[in-house]
Chain A
């Protein structure tokens, strides 16, 4: 009789764990894929504004039109300011190119450089899904959040390690600390202002960043009009870079 009670108690506990905290039953990488899925659809277009804020409060703004397909294909076109208009950047996996209309041909660029200045670099602007570039080493339960320790899959990834805080309820990232291979903190990203973009896309509409390397400087990214969109693979090619505006 005593054994039966113990058995029933164990069954209750197991059921309670399975149904109240189902994500803990998943492995970390699967959880990260869910975070990615919540952040953006498989193929989409969106508009973003990047704002670089200097210590004296002055600002410089850039507006980009972006399309993405699959896990590693992405293009961003500058719509503003006039000095940058028509520039476009393409990412195919680890490859990145910059097309400048005057130059007339795409140049290979690196993920750590920044085509806009400020704290955001190219890999922030052409960010792939986190699960494409990182493996989850550990997930810790910290009350309202999960803390993910992520390690880059290859040396070509811009940041060697990420410490990502994910909201338990929404499974959306809130704060991400980016570390170099030396262990130095390069920058901190903060996602805020969750917004319903329609078609089931509910995600942060603002990303702020600061860096100990740029003391006093901040950069902000505002997301708007995130729409699912069917796109041909050929859109993500060097020959198409001069024609990206025609997708709008």
Chain B
């Protein structure tokens, strides 16, 4: 370790203890909110204005213990032999809309910059920017960049054919949308069928337009038909076009009791394409008939614990054997590099990781569970929680306890620790880090 890094490391370790300490002090300190028994309600400040905007600024600190020797540590940190990684991130998200008559313009911007032990990086992106026209509540048409979240699953959405894949560790975060044209029709009824809605989306894929969706120079079509029938939400989804193969979906959600909700999704892709690594190191595009599904529940117990549990089967995911083949390629790549200086195999592994092996939850069968205790010990706005994701094929897992405090108006504080565990050649055993401590502070405006 070079001498010039010593102050940085010293600073890093003092920060390691200082930041959680400050967080705890914030939590236990007396509230600084204004206390007054007079209640007033001035409606003028809530008058509707044509232009409205808001958002949040965020600071995040992460400390990771590197799982040295794991496949993704070898791939990502091959030239930087470090045992820990500290990262500071600043972020800004701004949303808003301008409405005039039946026309409105909506936007969502996201930018972030991060400094870690490996260097500096930053990004700024337009997540959403679209115009919509709504001559009547039954009809809305829109064009522009928009985010879609089809499906009822909390962590995964196999029927979300035009969704951007979300991170199950942070499923409620905003994501970048796609440039589309859309028509939305709604009709309400009396009787067992209470609502029907039909959404049609045209999604072009050209150079510089939705390039990452699939094959270029195609105009794709997706649709969602929604029913509220006898207190059950039902969606039929469909996608066709040449950028991806045609697919069909069905989802549902309903309450079995006032504190018990169940949901499910089923997706059928007659010809699902996946890039598969062969034994000889070559790759091929596999076409299979894929049935993927998700079943889940949300339950509120008498002691105010909300449980979200989901089982997800991804027919297009990699088997344990296929994942092991990829991890073996990384190991062989490192051995060859150390022996001969050739990084051909490592580059091959990097290429394969980008084609699917490095995506979140690349396997076939997963269990997701999240438990949130609302305001225990009569501490208002304080919510401890626990989230776990288990790869049911190789039995590796991540488990993340957290605490969230929202008692200061327009502030959110979250402290989360994630522990990853698994054997050799398992998904979580081969992740880059073995654990992560994260403190996130958000200020809304």
Which of B133-141, B240-248, B273-281 is the interface stretch?
A: B133-141
- Is B81 in contact with chain A by the CB < 8 A criterion? no
Interface-central residue, B99, B154, B173, B409, by most chain A CB under 10 Å: B409
Q: Which residue of A lies closest to B102 (CB)?
A: A246
Of A20-28, A142-150, A154-162, A163-171, which binds chain B? Answer: A154-162
Q: How many Å lie between the Cα of A56 and that of B36 in the bound state?
A: 10
| In the complex, chain B residues whose CB is within 8 Å of the CB of A157 | 258
Which partner residue on chain A sits nearest B407 by CB separation? Answer: A60
Chain B 137-165 near chain A by CB (<8 Å), digits 1 or 0 = 11010000001111100100000000000
A59 touches which one: B36, B148, B150 (CB < 8 A)? Answer: B36
Of A10-18, A33-41, A91-99, A124-132, the one contacting chain B is A91-99
Q: A56 and B46: CB pair below 8 A?
A: no
Pair A95/B228 contact, Cβ less than 8 Å: yes
| List of A residues within 8 angstroms of B1 by Cβ | none
Closest CB in chain B relative to A245 CB, distance in Å? 7
Instruction: List residues of chain B with CB within 8 A of the CB of A236.
Output: 188
Contact yes or no, A82 B188, CB < 8 A: no
Contact among B43, B255, B259 for A225, CB-based, below 8 A = B43
> How far does the alpha carbon of A92 sit from the alpha carbon of B56 in the complex, in Å?
32
A240 in contact (CB, < 8 A)? yes
Binds A, one of B16-24, B27-35, B205-213, B342-350: B27-35
Verify A110–B226 contact, CB threshold 8 A: no
Q: Indicate whether A52 reaches chain B with its CB closer than 8 angstroms.
A: yes
Binary interface encoding of chain B residues 113-142 relative to chain A, with 1 for a CB under 8 A from any of its CBs, else 0: 000000000000000000000101110100
Stretch at the interface among B194-202, B324-332, B363-371: B194-202
- The answer, yes or no, to whether B62 is at the interface (CB within 8 Å) is no
- Contact in complex: A240, B137 (CB < 8 Å): yes
In angstroms, Cα B33 to Cα A58, docked, is 5
Asked if residues B261 and A83 are in contact (CB atoms below 8 Å), the reply is no
9-residue interface stretch from B64-72, B83-91, B374-382, B418-426: B374-382
Q: Is residue A4 contacting chain B, with contact meaning CB distance below 8 A?
A: no
B residues less than 8 Å from A220 (CB atoms): 39
CA distance A118 to B382 in the complex (A): 11
Contact status A222-B39, CB under 8 Å: yes
Q: Is A248 part of the binding interface, using a Cβ–Cβ cutoff of 8 Å? A: yes
Given contacts A81-B444, A112-B300, contact A59 B34 (CB under 8 A): yes
Which residue in A81, A105, A232 is a CB contact (below 8 Å) of B150?
A105
Residue in A60, A92, A216, A220 with the greatest tally of chain B CB atoms within 10 Å: A60
Residues of A with C-beta under 8 A to B52: 245
Q: Does A214 contact B231, Cβ atoms closer than 8 Å?
A: no
Q: A234 to chain B: which residues have CB within 8 Å?
A: 137-138, 186-188, 195
Known: A81-B410, A104-B149, A234-B188. A239 touches B197 (CB 8 A): yes
Residues of B within 8 A of A100 (CB): 172
Would you call B99 and A246 a contact (CB within 8 A)?
yes
Number of A-B contacts (CB under 8 A): 167
- Quick check: A102 and B174 within 8 Å, CB to CB? yes
Query: Which residue of chain B is the closest to A214 with respect to CB atoms?
Result: B378
- CB-CB < 8 A to A63: which residues of B? 41, 46
Kindly list chain A residues whose C-beta atoms are within 8 Å of the C-beta of B253.
108
Give the docked Cα–Cα distance between A85 and B39 (Å): 21
Within 8 A of B (CB), among A50-77: 51-52, 54, 56-61, 63, 65
B300, A101: Cβ atoms closer than 8 Å:
no
Whether A51 and B54, one on each chain, are in contact in the complex, defined by CB atoms closer than 8 angstroms, is no
Across the interface, which residues of B come within 8 angstroms of A82, CB to CB? Answer: 54, 56, 410, 444-445
- Tell me if A201 is interfacial: C-beta within 8 Å of chain B: no
Asked if A138 is an interface residue, CB under 8 A from chain B, the answer is no
A56 in contact with B31 (CB, 8 Å): yes
The answer to whether A56 and B30 have CB atoms under 8 Å apart is yes
Please, which residues of chain B bring their CB within 8 A of the CB of A108? 233, 253-255, 261, 263, 298
- For A217, the chain B residues whose CB sits under 8 A away are 378, 380
CB neighbours of B197 from chain A (8 A): 237-239
Inter-subunit contact A222/B188 (CB<8 Å): no
Partner of A239, one of B30, B186, B407: B186
Considering the chains assembled together, what is the distance between the CA atoms of A67 and B427 in angstroms?
Answer: 49
Closest 6 pairs between A and B when the two form their complex, measured CB to CB: A57-B35, A233-B188, A58-B33, A105-B149, A83-B444, A104-B149
- Can you name 25 A-B residue pairings with CB atoms under 8 Å? A47-B43, A54-B31, A58-B35, A60-B380, A63-B46, A82-B56, A83-B442, A85-B444, A100-B172, A108-B255, A108-B261, A110-B258, A110-B261, A112-B258, A217-B378, A234-B187, A236-B188, A237-B188, A237-B197, A237-B228, A238-B195, A239-B197, A240-B186, A243-B140, A248-B48
Give me 11 other A-B pairs in contact (C-beta within 8 A), A92-B195, A235-B137, A237-B197 excluded. A56-B35, A57-B35, A85-B444, A104-B147, A104-B175, A108-B254, A113-B374, A117-B374, A224-B41, A234-B186, A237-B186
Q: Which residues of A contact B (CB under 8 A)?
A: 47, 49, 51-52, 54, 56-61, 63, 65, 79-83, 85-86, 92-95, 100-105, 107-108, 110-114, 117-118, 155-158, 206, 214-217, 220, 222, 224-225, 232-240, 243, 245-246, 248
